[in-house]
Structure 1
């Protein structure tokens, strides 16, 4: 441990009891000079004195040393967002070094380890070298594995599996993912529906409605967001692609997803543009890129999870999220990724000299670099 506050704790506890340094020294069986050195940080008590000091002050050894192995949810959220901002403003290597220090200090705080894994996964693309980016993902996997093995928290373990699996995909390790989650698709759990019925039976219909709204919201986002991967998977079959888009965009329009969850819609439009770019269909690809750009420049920031007139009971659920209602990456990093999606994707090389494409780039640049 590099940060021991034992001296300050001894001073505070001794004064609470109205004791002098001589009184404490006599009780422990050391000299007054030794107590003075402890309190000024010139030296630490011998390890054999710690139980005696803790018992005398009626505190644990951890409290005596001024150390807590756990952070509160509020502390974790604040730390995550501060580090996310740092990734956008400081050299990646510096932020990674700080992350490593924090992980070592709180290696038994599993909620923190989960969010550190999320942080590394969300920012690995900022590393200057591919090897460094891969190392960040591998570190995230290691943290998730520790949570799965050591934590007894069922929800934390489930979330760790999800983050670990996502990292395996980004590491191009499909075998590890299939080993982690299995190869059988299971039916949706019915826990949510049963919980809603339980609330209704208990005489709390408002809570039952909230539970069902949350379930509908999650299923809706799952349905639409999955379409992005399904479009790419069926890229060779344009008839199937058009069918996917007709159904997906129909649902999205019905629920006004561009306003409710613009990030999901940006991903769908981007995937559609990429599919048509593969077929060298410039007009259709540009149409979907225009939709993508419009979503990115229309009230995307400040990003915040929210409901609407239909989903009018889910805001308290968002507020309880580990990282709050904000985005898991800083606004600067998100804006840069939006722009990179157009200029760095080789599928769009064949239209990069098209005036319409250049206009979209200008539109994105103008909006994303605008000072709020």
Structure 2
């Protein structure tokens, strides 16, 4: 807030009129009114008396703060939105620019106001965009210097979108460094640049890598949900989750092994002897095909390392060892189970 806004806010908090404040400070009521409307500023010798009168520090009076509160930021954005409905773009732009200048250390404010101006300009398809673009981009770049990761990523998003929109793909690519290597958004944006610049094979491979990685995440999520459902003894939900996990594996063209493996957990929980043995038998028989997704059309552009025979043998032995777990103790007298193990 500017000094006038601070004076008005804290004067009202003390239920003091402008006349009362003026009398206490030995000035006129119009002088206080001018301060509060930012038409003039208090004399430097009055700063300490004003701060004492309002029960605040001089730092607070002079608005020495790095960040706005969420409430203050929201209030400014609402004011900007209201202005957009009534004023021309130039007036709104200059108002926003002045606000940003009043809070030079608040990257969040600069970012939010710049994004609003950018969006308003695009929505209205106003002419002379180059007149404003430079300033808006500079506000976005300021966000890259923020100590808050969320602000930096949001600024990078805005810059990426702006350069993609203007078909400046090399510039857009520069801002991918602000996203984590593990962030699917980074890979998706990289694939978009590949596609826009005619690198179709690279774009296809990158999109496929995202699909493959997302399957692994979603599969773990289903396992987690299944464990919770079984813990709560909600077996109807557990059966639904096993079915969905199988559909997920089919949708992502994973091997039959991944379609059925989740069901073994449920069969063990329910001590369903026939179902457990049926799934065990099928799992053991399709271990050799566990890498079949490597030939799936969905992943045609990805390069996989082939599974060597010794690796498959080791996987099968590990599976057999897993079947000896105490969860399957209810099968210990079954000859088929003993054969599997």
What TM-score do the two structures reach when normalised by structure 2? 0.43
Higher gyration radius (CA): 2
Relative CO higher for 1 or 2, CA cutoff 8 Å, sep ≥ 6? 1
